[in-house]
Every structure is written in C-alpha cells, then in structure tokens.
Amino acid sequence: MDKHRTNVFIALVLVLLIVAAILAWVTGSEILSGAPVTSNDDAKPVSSKSIPSAPVKESEPSQTVAAGTPEPTSTPKPTDRVLDESGSIKSDTGANINMRVDWHIQSASSTELTLDVEVYICSYAINAGPHSGVIRICGKEYKFVSEAIRIDDNTKLHETLIYDTTVTVPAELGETVAVPISANWEFDGVYGGRQIDRITAESTLTVKA
C-alpha cells in the first residue's frame, strides 16, 4: 500500500514538471514574439556629418622686388690732380765728357705744374774754369755761369752739378702739355784729344696734366 502511494506521488510530480516545462516554453515564446521593440526616442542620433577641417592657406609665392635702377649721376670733375714724373736728357759729344739734364715735373695746382731741373757735367778727370751756360724751358731762358771744375781721378765717371732751377708751367686739368727743354754749356776746349766748343742736351717733354 505504501509502495503504491509512493509511485503515484512520483508520477504526479513528473506530470507536474512536464506541464510546468510546457507552460514555461509556451509563455517564453509568446513573450519573445510579442515583445515590442522599443527605441530610445530621447537618444540623439549620432550625426554622420563630417566637420570640415580648417582650410590651409596656401603661401603666396615670394616676390622679389627688383631694386630700382639708380639714375646715372655725373662724375664730379676732380679739383685735384696727381702728376709726378721724372727723367733725364743727355748730350752726345762723342767724347768722355757730356751734359745730363735731370727733370722732375709734378702738380702744383689745378692750373700749374712745377718743373725742377738739374744740369750735370759728366766726365772723368777734368780741369775747367768757370763757363757760361743757358737753359731754355718753354721758350724762356735761364742763364748761368758754372764754377770751376777740377777732378784728378781718371778711373771713373764723375757727375758735377753746374746749375739747377725750378719753374712753373701753365697747364689746365686734363690738358696734354709739351715742355721743350734745351741746355747749352760753353766748354770751348779740348777733352780726350777732341775739340769741343759747346755741349748741348735738348728734348721735348710731353705730359698729361
């Protein structure tokens, strides 16, 4: 009797479990099929609009500003000049005695030049008294009388200064000037077995002032 009740109880429990399972399955299906899909109306949609990036400003090509061509200006005419030239003029007697005129010309002002001249007798041994002479520069004469000359050494050439002077020569700035120079010395004697009356050295200088 007790075993029969136990079996009935077990069978009843199984039936209840099966029924409960079926009801749970049916109820779950209805819930899943009938449940409305809700949406969050308050949620704001994410905008798919892209935010444009700030435009990149293209750098403008650099422009080289050409320097204005300066207007040509006239070169000021110099008021000062620098002239400094020198040289020598020599005679040719054919003997071992001659005359040499050293000259040195330089600027004095914008309208004048300064000319220095020195007259030398070049010889070996010599014994001569005072002699007259003359030097002409640009047509103007400068007369002189040389002192007596006595040289006993006959082994080398000697130079004896007999006259010197300084004159001015007119010359405008930029002008080419001819300066004639002529020097005479009245030797009137014999030297090395040769008769020599006058020793002359002359030439014309051409300088640009």
Sequence spans of domains, the chain: 84-208
Is the pLDDT at 159 greater than 60, yes or no?
Answer: yes
Token pair 């444009």 is at which residue?
52
Question: What CA–CA distance (Å, rounded) separates 47 from 146?
Answer: 125
Is the pLDDT at 89 greater than 80, yes or no?
Answer: yes
Contacts 24+ apart (CB under 8 A), 78-86: 78/173, 79/110, 80/107, 80/110, 81/107, 81/110, 81/173, 81/209, 82/107, 83/107, 83/113, 83/207, 83/208, 83/209, 85/207
- Quick one: 17 exposed, middle or buried, by C-beta within 10 A (0-12, 13-18, 19+)? exposed
Looking at residue 209, what is its pLDDT?
Answer: 84
Is the pLDDT at 44 greater than 60, yes or no?
Answer: no
Is the pLDDT at 155 greater than 60, yes or no?
Answer: yes
Assessment of whether the complete model's pTM goes beyond 0.85 = no
Is the pLDDT at 202 greater than 70, yes or no?
Answer: yes
Q: Return the CATH fold of 84-208.
A: Immunoglobulin-like (2.60.40)
Is the pLDDT at 168 greater than 90, yes or no?
Answer: yes
Question: Bigger pLDDT: 49 or 180?
Answer: 180
